[in-house]
Amino acid sequence: DAVERGEYRHYMLKEIHEQPQSVADTLEGRISGGRVLPGIFGSGADEILAKVKQVQIIACGTSFHAGLVARYWIESLAGIPCHTEIASEFRYRQPVVAPDTLFITISQSGETADTLAALRMAKERDYAARLAICNVPEASLVRESDLVLMTRAGPEIGVASTKAFSTQLSALALLALRLAETRGIDAQRYAAAIADLEVLPGLIRDALQLDAEIKSLAEQFVDKQHALFLGRGTQFPIALEGALKLKEISYIHAEGYPAGELKHGPLALVDETMPVIAVAPNDALLDKLKSNMEEVRARGGQLYVFCDTRIRHGMGEGHVLELPACGEIAAPVLFNVPLQLLAYHVAVLRGTDVDQPRNLAKSVTVE
């Protein structure tokens, strides 16, 4: 079926605005009575998940960033060791597989050559099972995996992935919580995480209200050649994703960095010409992030902060944009939204081909 752009100037903008619905669709029928429903990963999946002792996640591009967030969740909620790796590296290593390791691929298209090759290699090895998180039901990745959790983003046309990422994170949160439940997670924390997921579509809708403000902010980025994105914890992959979006569609060189690494290199680049974007949720690492922000300010860097509205007062002067209050599971999905909008508006101002950036393909089916 032809997918219409409707009132939107680009598919990417339409897809950004579809996120409340795509996330709601991905969660639909998978949470009930305050818990992740058993059986959502297919028949026999729950027995396998109950005995998993390690997780290996493989993906490319934006899907890899979703896998990086999942690592924090699986380790902190379920207490299961988890590694996330780029498919093109994994497939040429000689990985040592620990007993009862669950192998997970994440892919919007389910046809990415390196991710498929990694899955095929994993089939030759002694993994507990191979689980695909994918957006296209008829994809090779789905057909060739033992277990499947479909994201329900609908067709994604823009080359730069947006709604697929939010739905991947939603699906991965369900997985982390399912694993956590079988391991006996603290009931209060579990309930808070479920509540967090249930309000997520509405929170994304609220975050999209920042569109006009971000559009005017984007004017300050048009002439930049470089940008630095900083985050800690689950916001580190969001910093990577924010930088990827900006480079993909605006062609501005951007790097995402764990904020704690600032002193180990990137600080040397910071001066009054360098925009530095920090993502600041209300979490345990906030004070650490704030001291990194001070380091940037002290060197005259132009700081742009996206923060949880509850901590606005502690963010100091300059460009500070507030996001709705949210919990640990919602935060990475939510904080990514303004970074998508920022990349979009900068690209539009620079006059690039937003939906079809030069040299890039929607699905990389050859190596």
> Which is closer to ligand G6P, CB of 63 or CB of 302?
63
Would you give the binding string for ligand G6P spanning residues 276-315, x where CB under 6 A is met? ----------------------------------------
Q: Does 166 bind ligand G6P (CB under 6 A)?
A: no
State the nearest-atom distance from the C-beta of 139 to ligand G6P, in Å: 9
Q: Yes or no: say if 307 and 323 are a contact pair by the CB < 8 Å rule.
A: yes
Nearer to ligand G6P, 160 or 348 (CB): 160
Nearest to 141 by CA among 130, 152, 155, 157: 130
Residue 26 interacting with ligand G6P (CB under 6 A)? no
- Kindly indicate which of the ranges 27-35, 56-64, 204-212, 304-312 contains the residues binding ligand G6P, using the contact rule CB under 6 A: 56-64
Which tokens sit at 48? Answer: 């396998």
Q: Which x/- pattern over 99-128 shows residues binding ligand G6P (rule: CB under 6 A)?
A: --------xxx--x--x-------------
- Residue 333 φ/ψ region, left for φ over 0, alpha for ψ in the -120 to 50 degree band, beta for the rest: alpha
- The CB-nearest residue to ligand G6P is 61
**Nearest distance in Å: CB 161, ligand G6P:** 4
Minimum CB separation of residue 89 from ligand G6P in Å reads: 14
- Following CA atoms 21, 23, 28, 34 in sequence, which dihedral angle do they give, to the nearest 10 degrees? -130
User: Considering the rule CB under 6 A, would residue 63 count as an interface residue with ligand G6P?
Assistant: yes
Residue 245 appears among annotated catalytic residues: no
User: DSSP assignment of 126-165, as one string?
Assistant: T-SEEEEEES-TT-HHHHT-SEEEE-------SSS-SHHH
CA dihedral 218, 224, 226, 232 (to 10 degrees): -30
Q: Are strands 31-32 and 35-36 parallel, antiparallel or unpaired?
A: antiparallel
Q: How many residues bind ligand G6P (CB under 6 A)?
A: 16
Residue 157 binds to ligand G6P (criterion: CB under 6 A): no
Q: Which two tokens stand for residue 133?
A: 């998180």
DSSP helix, strand, coil percent of the chain (3-state; round to 5)? 50, 15, 35
Q: How far apart are CA 259 and CA 261, in angstroms?
A: 5
Binding footprint of ligand G6P on the chain (CB under 6 A):
60-63, 107-109, 112, 115, 159-161, 360, 362-364
The residues that are catalytic are 362
